[in-house]
Amino acid sequence: MADSLHLELADFVHDVHTGIYSEETGKPQPLRFTVRAKLKALDRYDPDTPLEQSKNYMDLKFACSEALGTRHYKLIEAVADHVCETLFLQDERLEEISVKIVKLALSEADEQIGITLVRERR
């Protein structure tokens, strides 16, 4: 079995225009993102291994913030899809991406309501 490397962004909160109900549209709402990006690992990572041999994990944060722009997404599934596509376009070495999104505005008792999309490179 080949080694793999998972880069992760956990519990990142960003306001996104999303929703289908009248109380959701017209204003951004906070979403909590957890993103895992899988790529094939090197045989070894020496202390001076350059960043180009891995992936800049700040790209995960960018895909969940600036890359989404100000567009309105009816479904958070579409938000997750956009995050996956952004990351796949950035780096052809990515093999699989998992995007978990929690809609914080729906929480009444700290429960986590949302989705997880796992997409393999096609």
Give the percent of the chain with pLDDT over 70.
99
Confidence (pLDDT) at 60: 96
3-state SS string over the chain?
Answer: CCCEEEEEEEEEEEEECECCCCCCCCCCEEEEEEEEEEEECCCCCCCCCCHHHCCCCHHHHHHCCHHHCCCCECCHHHHHHHHHHHHHHHCCCEEEEEEEEEEHHHCCCCCCCEEEEEEECC
Domains and CATH numbers, the chain: 4-43+52-120 (3.30.1130.10)
Which residues is 9 bridged to in the sheet?
35
Mean pLDDT split into 10-residue runs, the chain, 122 residues: 90 95 85 96 90 91 96 96 97 96 86 95 90
Confidence (pLDDT) at 110: 80
Contacts of residue 116, Cβ cutoff 8 Å, sequence gap at least 6: 80, 98, 99, 100, 101
